[in-house]
Amino acid sequence: MSKVAVLPLLLVMLLACTSGPAQTNYAAITGVVKDSGGGVVPGVQVTIRHTGTNIAQSTQSNETGSFNITNLVPGPYELTGQLSGFRTYKLGGIVLETGQTRRIDFQLQVGEVTQSVDVTAEVAALNTEAGAVVGSVIEQQEIRDLPLDTRSIMDLALLVPGVIPQAEGGIGSGINTGGARSETNNFYIDGFSNRDARSSTMVASPSADAVQEFKMEVSGYSAESGRMAGGNMAVVLLSGTNKFHGSLFEFARNNVIDSRAFFDQGKKKLNRHQFGGTLHGPVVVPKIYDGHDRTFFLLNWESFREIVGVTSIGQAPTALERQGDFSQSKNSSGSLVTVRDPLANNAAFPNNRIPDARIHPVSKKILAFYPLPNRASANNNYITSDNNETNNDQILWKIDHRFDEKNQFSFRHSTSWRRADAPFTGSPVGGFPVLTSNMASLAGLNYMHLFSPTFLVQARGGVSRTNYENFTPTRESNLAAELGLPVWNTEPAMLGMPVITLLGYSTLGNFQGVPTIFTPTGIEAGSRLRCREARTSASGVSTSCATGTTSLSRTTSGAPTTSSRIGRDRQWATSCSVCCRARRDGWPWLAPTREGSP
C-alpha cells in the first residue's frame, strides 16, 4: 500500500472518533540487552509470552540494544531473548500489573542458541518508568482474600494512601481522593469509561470474583485518563486462559448474634445473602471448535438479597387533638400549649378546644393518614419498625479472540438490575415508601492490528446506559383531588400524595423529588495510532512515541420535570492531544503534529 493511500486511511481513523478512551488497562516492558562485557547487543529477538493464554509478542533490540513491547494484558509472562552466537535467555515468573511499564534489562552469554540460561524474576523494584504517578495496584489475591462487607471493590480503594471515605453529606462515588470532591473521580473498566454522568458513581460495579486487579491512581496520571480532578480507578477484568477455572460462592449475614438497639422495641431483622459464580477459560465446542491459544471467555453472575429492619420515630396527633381538644397537649418543654383563634384577635379558644365546625374538611381527611400515638411522650409519640429491602442482580461476560499474531479482538458486556424499598423516606410515621428500580449496562469492543512491535492501530467503541426510576406506590393515584386540594399536575406519573407539613407533627406525602426518571447515556468510540521506538539517553532508555487521538463525547440525560415535559441536557466536548516525537525513516507524514482542538 502506498504512502498516499495509507495517510488518508489513518487520518480517517484518527478523526472519526467520539471519545479518546484511556489505555490504563494495558502494561508494557522496556529494557536494554547487553553482552557479558557490558556492550549493547542489537538485533536480539525479544519475545514476551503470556503463560496463561500462550499469546506472544516479539520485537528486536535496536542499534542501542533497547527494546519496547506495549499493549500487554496484565498477568503472568515469560520473556526470552535469542541471537545467533549467544545462549537463549529465559526469564520466568514475570507478573505485569495494569498501567505498569516494567524495565527488564538482561545480558546474553556467548554460546549456542540451543543452550539456555533460565532465570526466575524477582519482585519488581521501584517502577522508575511511571513518572510522577502516585497510586497503588490492588492485586487479585488482595481482592480475593481481604474481607469485604458487601464485596465491593470500592472498599479496597481505601487501602491506597490519599483515599478516604466520602465526607458526610457528600455525593458520588463514596470516596474522596487527594482532597478532591467525591463526585470528581474517574472510573474505567478495561480502558472504557465506567463513570455515570449523573451520579458520578460506577456504571458497572463488577463482582470481586470477576476482577483481576485494579489500579487506584491518586495524582500524576496521564491527561488521557484524567477527565476529572479526583482519582483514577482503572479496573481490569479477568480473561480466560487455556485452563478452565470457576467458582461458586454464597455469603450470608443475619441478626443471630446482634443486640437490640436503644430505640428498638425488639431485635431488628437482618437477612443478607450474596451469591453467584464465575467461569472462565478457552471457548471449546466439542468436535466443532477448539479455542485453545485463540479464543477465551469470562462469565460472571452475582446476586444480592438483603432485608434490614429499620426503626422510625415521629410525632402524630393524639385522639383528642384530632377532635380539636388540646387541653392535654404539651410542648417540647412540658408546658401546656395554648391554641389561639386567628379570627378573634388571636384570643385563646375556650378550654383550649377548637369547635368541630372550625376544623376544615381537608384537615380531617389529612388527619386520617396519621397513625395514633403508641408512646407516652410529648415528643416523638409514635414509633414503628419496617424493613428496607434491596435486591441486586448482575451478569457480566467477556470474549477475547486472537485471529492471528497481528490481529486481536475483545468484547465485554455487563448488565445489572437493582430494586429497593425504603419505607420511611416519605414520612417518619410510614405509609409513603420510595421504591427504586435501576438498570445499568456497559458494553465495550476493542480491535487491535499490530503492523510491527513498534507500530499498531487500535479501534475501540463502547456504550453505557443507566436507567434510574424512583417512585411511590401511589404515583398514579390522584390523592390531592381526593383530599380536596387544588390539582396542579395531571401527568399520571407525577400524581400521588403531595408533601404536607403540619407544624409540630411529622411530614406526610411523597418524598421531595419523587417520582424521578433519569436515563444518562454515554457513547464513546476511538481509534489510536501508536508508533514507538526505543532510544538511549544519558540516564538510560527512554521512549518516544507519536500518538494522535481525537475525542468527541456526548452525554444525554432525560428526566420528568414538574410539568409533563422531558428535560434534556446535552454536553459536547472535543479535544485532541499529540504526545512526544516520531522518527521513522521513509515516513515523513508521521512528523510531529501540532497540538490543538479539531
Q: Could you give the percent of the chain with pLDDT greater than 90? A: 44
Q: What are 547's three cell numbers?
A: 500518538
The distance in angstroms from the start CA to the end CA of the chain is 27
Domain with CATH 2.170.130.10 in the chain: 132-238
Strand order in the sheet with 56-60: 56-60, 45-50, 75-82, 88-96, 116-120
Report how far residue 434's alpha carbon sits from residue 389's, in angstroms, rounded to the nearest whole number.
11
Cell numbers of 383, please?
414509633
Q: Residues 73, 75, 76, 81: is their CA dihedral positive or negative?
A: positive
3-state secondary structure of 350: helix
Per-residue pLDDT tens for 42-63? 999 999 999 999 999 999 999 9
Cα 510 to Cα 497: distance, rounded to the nearest angstrom: 6
The grid cell for 243 is 485452563
3 state DSSP class of 343: helix
> Degrees (nearest 5) of the Cα angle 337, 340, 344?
165
Q: According to the model, what pLDDT value does residue 127 have?
A: 52
- pLDDT for the residue 299: 97
Q: What is the pLDDT of residue 516?
A: 84
Report residue 316 CA to chain centroid gap.
Answer: 42
Angle at 349 between CA 347 and CA 352, to 5 degrees: 130
Peptide bond into 515 cis (omega under 30): yes
- Specify the pLDDT at position 129: 54
Task: Provide long-range contacts, Cβ within 8 A and 24+ apart, for 254-257.
Answer: 255/309
The per-residue pLDDT for 366 is: 92
Res. 254: pLDDT tops 50: yes
Measured CA to CA, the distance from residue 333 to residue 378 in angstroms comes to 9
Map 256-284 to HEC letters.
Answer: CCCCCCCCCCCCCCEEEEEEEEEEEEECE
Q: How confident is the model over 522-532, as pLDDT tens digits? A: 888 776 666 55
Residue 314's CB is within 10 A of a number of other CB atoms, namely 23
According to DSSP, the β-strands at 516-518 and 232-237 are: unpaired
Given a cut of 80, whether residue 575 has pLDDT beyond it is no
| 285-296 tens-digit pLDDT | 999 999 999 999
**Whether residue 236 has pLDDT greater than 70:** yes
Average pLDDT over residues 516-537: 68
Looking at domain 22-120, its CATH architecture is Sandwich (2.60)
Residue 253 pLDDT class (50, 70, 90 cuts): very high
pLDDT value, residue 442: 95
492 DSSP assignment:
G
The residue behind cell 519488581 is 124
The CA–CA distances, whole Å, from 495 to 174, 182, 480 equal 33, 34, 8
Size of the chain in residues: 598
Residue 8 has pLDDT above 60, yes or no: no
Q: What are the pLDDT digits (tens) for 539-571?
A: 333 333 333 332 333 333 333 333 222 233 333
Q: Is 238 exposed, middle or buried (0-12, 13-18, 19+ CB in 10 A)?
A: buried
Residue-level pLDDT at 44 = 94
Yes or no: say if 94 and 121 are a contact pair by the CB < 8 Å rule.
yes
pLDDT value, residue 22:
42
List the beta bridge partners of residue 352: none
Per-residue pLDDT, 537: 34
Three-state DSSP state, 390: strand
pLDDT digits (tens, 9 = 90+) for 493-507: 778 888 888 888 999
Q: Tell me the Cα Rg of the chain.
A: 32
Question: Given 1.10.1060.10, 3.40.50.920, 2.170.130.10, 3.40.50.300, which CATH number is that of 132-238?
Answer: 2.170.130.10
pTM, two decimal places: 0.76
Instruction: For residue 184, give the nearest of 168, 169, 167, 201 by alpha carbon.
Output: 201
Q: What angle do CA 372, 376, 378 make, to 5 degrees?
A: 90
pLDDT of 583 over the 70 cut: no
Ranges for all domains in the chain classified under CATH 2.60.40.1120 = 22-120
Comparison of pLDDT for 266 and 299, the residue scoring more: 299
What pLDDT, on the 0 to 100 scale, is given for residue 536? Answer: 36
**Average confidence (pLDDT) over 114-132:** 60
Place of cell 448474634: 257
Question: Region 324-337: what's the mean pLDDT?
Answer: 86
Nearest Cα to 149, choosing from 237, 277, 267, 274? Answer: 274
Distance CA 528, CA 21 (A): 9
All cell numbers assigned to 255: 441478626
Sign of CA dihedral 258, 263, 266, 268: negative
Question: What is the pLDDT confidence band of residue 275, given thresholds at 50, 70 and 90?
Answer: very high
| Of 187, 158, 161, residue with least CA distance to 172 | 187
